[in-house]
Amino acid sequence: MSGTVHVAVGIVANAAGAILITRRPGHVHQGGLWEFPGGKVETNEAVETALQRELHEELGITVQAAEPWLQIRHAYPDKTVLLDVWRVTAWRGEPHGREGQPLQWASSLELADLAFPAADEPIVARLRREHAQITQQANSNGTSAVL
């Protein structure tokens, strides 16, 4: 097994709280599954710089602000990945699949019905937990909330 692959991952949400996901090409590792956009961190590259570069290359958006959100190390039989997950809080441009990949906006609840690589499961779980907490707080305050 080779070394760890360091990946910058972006959680991009629209005004309605839907999360942007992309489908991996069939010929790559974990092909055909949905994923959160991002890509490999190059040697000596800062994670935030990699995130900005990857989201521009993949989606055509310019990241204006992002914050670290979660870090996941996952060992597959053939490789280990370290996912540095950042919540993108501001960006410019309209996301589109610059590499021909399908895109989808999905609610936190819809994510559970889609197939993701095993390394992404903690991301889906945390997004669902946060949605549940916000909904519970809104219900207790008599207000509505969207995540």
The pLDDT assigned to 135 comes to: 61
Reduced to 3 states, what is the DSSP secondary structure of residue 61?
coil
Cβ atoms of residues 63 and 52 within 8 Å: yes
How far the first Cα of the chain sits from its last, in Å, is 39
Question: Tens digits of per-residue pLDDT, 18-64?
Answer: 999 999 888 787 889 999 999 999 999 999 999 999 999 999 999 99
DSSP secondary structure letter of residue 34: E
The pLDDT assigned to 44 comes to: 97
Least confident stretch, 18-32, 63-77, 110-124: 18-32
The pLDDT assigned to 136 comes to: 60
Residue 108 has pLDDT above 70, yes or no: yes
Domain 4-141 architecture: Alpha-Beta Complex (3.90)
Beta bridge partner(s), residue 39: 8
Give the integer Cα–Cα distance in Å for 41 and 53: 10
Sign of the CA dihedral with 35 first, then 101, 41, and 50 last:
negative
Mean pLDDT of the chain: 90
pLDDT band at 131 (very low <50, low <70, confident <90, very high): confident
Question: In Å, how far are 7, 11, 47, 49 from 43, measured between CA atoms?
Answer: 11, 23, 10, 12
> Per-residue pLDDT averaged across 110-123, rounded?
96
The CA R_g of the chain, rounded to the nearest whole Å, is 15
Cβ atoms of residues 91 and 12 within 8 Å: yes
Cβ atoms of residues 89 and 79 within 8 Å: no
The domain segmentation of the chain, as residue ranges, is 4-141
Residue 141 has pLDDT above 60, yes or no: no
Sheet arrangement for strand 103-106: 34-35, 19-23, 103-106
DSSP secondary structure letter of residue 81: E
